[in-house]
Amino acid sequence: MAVVACFILAFMTGLRAANPDFLVALRELTFDYYQRIKPREYQPAPVRIVDIDEASIAEIGQWPWPRTKLAELVTTLTDLGAAAIVFDMMFSEPDRTSPRQLQKSLGEDVSDAVLQGLKSLPDHDETFSRAIAEAPVVLGFAPSEGVSERTPAKPGGIAYGGDNPADFLEPHSSAVASLELLERNASGIGSISISAKDLEGVVRRVPLIVSVAGQVYPGLSAEALRVAQGAQGIIIRTTSASGEQATGHAAVTTIKIGDFEPATTGAGELWLYYSADQPDRYVSARDLFNREKLEDILPFIEGQIVFIGTSAAGLRDIRTTSLGDQVPGVSIHAQALEQVIFDQFLSRPDWADGLEVLVTFVVGAIVIIALPAIGSLGTAILGLFIIAGLIGGSIYLFWDYGFLIDPVYPSLTSVLVLSASTALLFFLTEREKKFVRQAFGQYLSPDLVSQLEETPEQLKLGGEIRPMTILFMDIRGFTPISEQLTPEELVSFLNTLLSPLSDAIQAEGGTIDKYIGDSIMAFWNAPLSIPDHAEKACRAGLAMLKVVDELNARDAFGFKARNLKTQNVQIGIGLNSGDACVGNMGSARRFNYSVIGDAVNIASRIESSCKAVGAELLVSAETRDQAGNFAFLEAGEIPLKGKSEPVKLFALLGDEAVKASGEFRELEGAHTKLVQAVEKADYEEASRELTHAWSIAPSLADFYGRFQDRLENLQAVRTPERTVRGQD
**Whole-prediction pTM value?**
0.58
d(CA 110, CA 23): 65
d(CA 306, CA 300): 10
E strand or H helix that includes residue 21: helix 21-37
Question: Is residue 426 predicted with pLDDT exceeding 70?
Answer: no
* Average pLDDT taken over every residue of the chain: 86
Q: Quick one: how far is CA 412 from the chain centroid?
A: 22
Give φ, ψ of 454 to 5 degrees. Answer: -80, -35
Band of residue 443 on the pLDDT scale cut at 50, 70, 90: very low
d(CA 458, CA 189): 82
Question: Is residue 682 predicted with pLDDT exceeding 60?
Answer: yes
d(CA 52, CA 35): 28
- The residues spanned by each domain of the chain are 2-21+349-421, 41-342, 460-658, 661-728
Its CATH class, for the domain covering 460-658, is alpha beta
Q: How far is CA 256 from CA 159, 222, 232, 261, in A?
A: 10, 9, 11, 5
For the stretch 451-503, pLDDT in tens is 666 666 555 445 789 999 999 999 999 999 999 999 999 999 999 999 999 99
d(CA 50, CA 671): 81
Q: Average pLDDT, stretch 14-36?
A: 91
Q: Which residue has the higher pLDDT, 595 or 454?
A: 595
d(CA 179, CA 153): 10
Q: How far is CA 559 from CA 476, 490, 495, 611, 697, in A?
A: 15, 12, 15, 22, 28
Question: Is residue 727 predicted with pLDDT exceeding 50?
Answer: no
Instruction: Give residue 706's pLDDT.
Output: 87
E strand or H helix that includes residue 175: strand 174-176
- The partner residues of 327 in beta bridges, in order of sequence, read 319
Give φ, ψ of 677 to 5 degrees. Answer: -65, -40
DSSP letter (8 states) at residue 207 = E
Helix (H, G, I), strand (E, B) or coil at 676: helix
Question: Is residue 221 predicted with pLDDT exceeding 50?
Answer: yes
Q: How far is CA 550 from CA 31, 510, 636, in A?
A: 52, 21, 30
Question: Is residue 44 predicted with pLDDT exceeding 70?
Answer: yes
Q: Which of 670, 544, 532 is nearest to 607 (CA)?
A: 544
Q: Which residue has the higher pLDDT, 106 or 602?
A: 602
For residue 527, say if its preceding peptide bond is cis, omega within 30 degrees of 0: yes
Question: Is residue 342 predicted with pLDDT exceeding 90?
Answer: yes
d(CA 28, CA 405): 10
Band of residue 246 on the pLDDT scale cut at 50, 70, 90: very low
Question: Is residue 244 predicted with pLDDT exceeding 70?
Answer: no
Instruction: Give residue 416's pLDDT.
Output: 87
Instruction: Give residue 243's pLDDT.
Output: 46
